[in-house]
Structure 1
């Protein structure tokens, strides 16, 4: 009886703590968001945010799978777990290890902090080099935009409408980026460029902060399509947003040597 009970518990636990490797042609793992800062929100609130983000993102990926016939697998936050780290570098290292373990092309994660009744979510994603060896110029850690600000209704309550709207916008952007990366990997650079441009529309963004990654991806796609003037403009736009953005300078240098 004791053995039977242990086996029952173990069968329930294993899929969560030891998820099988993903088998789709395009695999994305969405992690639980890491809670940081002195005014911590509850784990339940952070889990709610990651679940809302996952639901919106998965709907977009299911639509893409139907449109293209490509097998796209999206692993949920409970199975993926939390990507923790005090710095972006530390989180990126753990996201890379998670990607290799799960056979994921992309791992989506982020940090959640509280300042009074304002909750901020900073989305990040990691492109795994072992699964994307043909697009080395894009692999590694990326931050997608400035922190998403959500007004909470109290210490334990989130404004659900605001939560759905704000996370939905950013998940839409990330879905467009993922679609673009899929096309980029298939060398459909013109189509990828259009999706990166669509993701960079003002309707998804309150300001320019954090949009340098979209200009980088657009610049790379334009360069691959031999649109060097457009590529140069995109890289310059990335550098204007963040003058310390090394990838933008690398892209600009590549244009000059064409």
Structure 2
């Protein structure tokens, strides 16, 4: 029987997973070099959507200092709100662990302080330390990495389209365009990026988030309406360059009508509030 690929990839979602990478990875802590290696691993802890990096112990120039506690999956993973398995999406810090292992601090130099590292209790990762991505500075080759490592099984496609897109909130017209850029991203809803000229006046927000594939996002709110309902990339990373200065709305919280058909609102981690 044929199997849908998304199901194949999800079949081991509850397992500790890893994938080697040939990229040269450079890691710093408060400006001090911590590691440089072309033998890093991408590691997904159980139920984790996005990976972080593990570096070989012999590539670490920083010192590993035991943090004084062992981590266990039952102790550290947040409890499921409804009794089902808990998905660890990018809003859950990498310091939250869902497998057994030991926590360490990484110390580089005398003034830089410490940051979290984790050694899973797994023989395939015995010679590696998984580093808390947010605590370090990262480069893949000479390119900076933000938010989390790029997943080799994840991609985005941006396509020009002549579909007619209308965006409303409680009957209020927010945007209308027949020249959208449609962004297709693995395991996420299709997003409609619209030219700024086709969008109603919105108020800039001070909210900022980062995407590993598209870069730094700036947000907009509806005057007298919901906050942080749309975003733009003013200086995107290379994968997101086609949508530079275009505006995209959260399909989860507005009505998006494409070619006269109202799209069903997707349910994601952004359904309730801004990211």
**Which is helix-richer, 1 or 2?**
1
Instruction: Give the TM-score taking structure 2 as reference length.
Output: 0.25
Which of the pair has the greater relative contact order for Cα pairs under 8 Å at 6+ separation? 1
**Which is strand-richer, 1 or 2?**
2
Larger radius of gyration: 2
